[in-house]
Amino acid sequence: MSEKAKTQNTDTSNRLERTDQKEAESVNKQVQSRQMVVQKIRKNRKSSFSIFMVIVALISTVICLIYQTHYTDKTAPVITVPTSEIQCPVSEAGDEQLLAGVKATDDRDGDVTSSLVIEKLGPVINNSRTITYAAVDASNNVGRATRTMVYTNYSAPTFSMSAPLVMRQGDTLELDKLVFANSSVDGDLSSQIKFSFDSSVNVNRTGEYPVHISVMDSAGTTSMLDTELYVYSKEQSKIEITLTEYLVYLDVNAEFDPMLYVEDVSHGYPEQIEVASDVDTGKPGTYLVRYTITDENAAGCTQLVVIVK
């Protein structure tokens, strides 16, 4: 091949290579352009989807608010009572009697009387206490109403004693086995009695020790008794004086004879008993009567608590 022909072939090859490079560069630019378009489309799709989700959330919130405002049941049942006040003895103040004639209605559920309960009984004040009724509907809305109950025979808790508040020097102090309490509402309240002393009791030293006794019933009424525990010497325990009662309640201005409560003397004669009493039935309060007996070789003592009210 001549030199001229070789030169022509080389030029042709170079032109072809330059053409191929240009075409490749053009293709790459087109691919990059398409990729940029795809990315923009995807970005726009994400942005549109986010906006769509925000719109959906807003619409859902609005629908919920409209439903809660116009369709959710927020109205409690209405309770009606036959009378604003009911009078009854304590023994007839159970749920059945207190719910008799009481009704509950709801604007959607209708009659909901079966859901009625006595939610609370207030404290007794002047023999009266407040009843709180409650009723519930299907949406758990609670309606309430109150009514006054008047007890015809209520009384505050009372105390009683099985033995006198006296103990022999050196013996074990067990007041909870001597003092009891009873309530017209709750019955036996003995386990609820509280004892307290102004100072610690020395069972090895004779003397008088003030004791405070209290108990509260479920109606919120507290009864209190302030009296004395008497610790006597061992020599005074040889004669036993038995009383018919060791705590009595008296009405104001009632007659009182302390000897009427003496039942028996272990030996000796009742006439030998000496009585120390500060009872004044004309004045409400708590009083103490102490009985003692002494002969040549023995002695004995006991006491009676008198409450005038």
Tell me if 68 is assigned to some domain.
Answer: no
pLDDT at 10 exceeding the cut of 60: no
Do 304 and 225 share a structural domain?
A: yes
Question: Residue 175: is it exposed, middle or buried by C-beta count within 10 angstroms (0-12/13-18/19+)?
Answer: middle
What is the Cα–Cα distance from 228 to 289, expressed in whole angstroms? 11
Shortest CA distance to 197 belongs to which of 209, 214, 184, 183?
Answer: 209
Do 174 and 226 share a structural domain?
A: yes
Shortest CA distance to 215 belongs to which of 242, 181, 249?
Answer: 181
Question: Which pLDDT score is estimated for 223?
Answer: 97
Question: Which pLDDT score is estimated for 45?
Answer: 59
Supply the mean pLDDT for the chain.
86
Note the pLDDT tens digit of each residue in 11-70: 555 554 565 566 556 656 665 666 665 566 566 555 666 777 777 777 777 666 665 555
What is the Cα–Cα distance from 10 to 17, expressed in whole angstroms? 11
Question: Which pLDDT score is estimated for 142?
Answer: 96
Question: Which pLDDT score is estimated for 184?
Answer: 95
Tell me if 63 is assigned to some domain.
Answer: no
Token pair 């909870």: residue:
176
What is the Cα–Cα distance from 161 to 179, expressed in whole angstroms? 5
Distances (CA, A) of 225 to 150, 180, 185, 281, 301: 26, 12, 19, 17, 22
Token reading at 19: 């053409």
Do 177 and 94 share a structural domain?
A: no
- Strand duo 274-277 + 247-250: pairing: unpaired
Tell me if 62 is assigned to some domain.
Answer: no
Note the pLDDT tens digit of each residue in 78-129: 999 999 899 999 999 999 999 999 999 999 999 999 999 999 999 999 999 9
Give the count of domains, the chain: 3
* H-run or E-run covering 62: helix 3-70
Contact 289, 164 (CB under 8 A): no
- Strand duo 247-250 + 187-188: pairing: unpaired
Phi, psi of 87 (to 5 degrees): -115, 135
Question: Which pLDDT score is estimated for 232?
Answer: 87
Note the pLDDT tens digit of each residue in 238-297: 889 999 999 999 999 999 999 999 999 987 778 889 999 999 999 999 999 999 998 777
Contacts 24+ apart (CB under 8 A), 44-48: none
- Containing structural domain, residue 18: 1-57
Task: Give me the CATH number covering residue 271.
Answer: 2.60.40.10
Do 83 and 28 share a structural domain?
A: no
Tell me if 69 is assigned to some domain.
Answer: no
